Amino acid sequence: MIIGFNGGILTNPGRVLSIENMEYYGTIGRIAAESAGIPVGLILNEINNMEMVQKGIELGFNAVMFESVSNNPEENISLTKKIVKIAHAAGVAVESNVGTLPTAGNGGLQRQCATACLTTPGGAKRFVDRTGVDMLGVSIGNIEVLMKGKATIDLALLKAIHEATPVYLTLHGGSGIADEDVKDLIASGLCKMNLGAALNQAFIDGIDEVLKSTGQEVSAKYRIGSGLKEDVMAGGEITMKELVRHKMRVYGSAGKAANPKGEETYRRAYNE
pLDDT in tens, 122-146: 999 999 999 999 999 999 999 888 8
Q: Are 146 and 112 in contact (CB under 8 A)?
A: no
Between strands 2-6 and 63-66, the pairing is unpaired
Evaluate if residue 272 carries a pLDDT over 60. Answer: no
Q: Of all residues in the chain, what percent carry a pLDDT higher than 90?
A: 65
- Tell me the pTM: 0.88
Looking at residue 271, its pLDDT comes to: 60
Looking at residue 265, its pLDDT comes to: 60
Q: Are 94 and 64 in contact (CB under 8 A)?
A: yes
Evaluate if residue 262 carries a pLDDT over 70. Answer: no
Q: Are 177 and 150 in contact (CB under 8 A)?
A: yes
pLDDT, mean of residues 95-113: 73
pLDDT, mean of residues 93-116: 73
Residue 163 makes CB contacts below 8 A (sequence gap 6+) with: 121, 189
Which stretch of 30-34, 52-56, 180-184, 263-267 has the lowest confidence by average pLDDT? 263-267
pLDDT classification of 37: cutoffs 50, 70, 90: confident
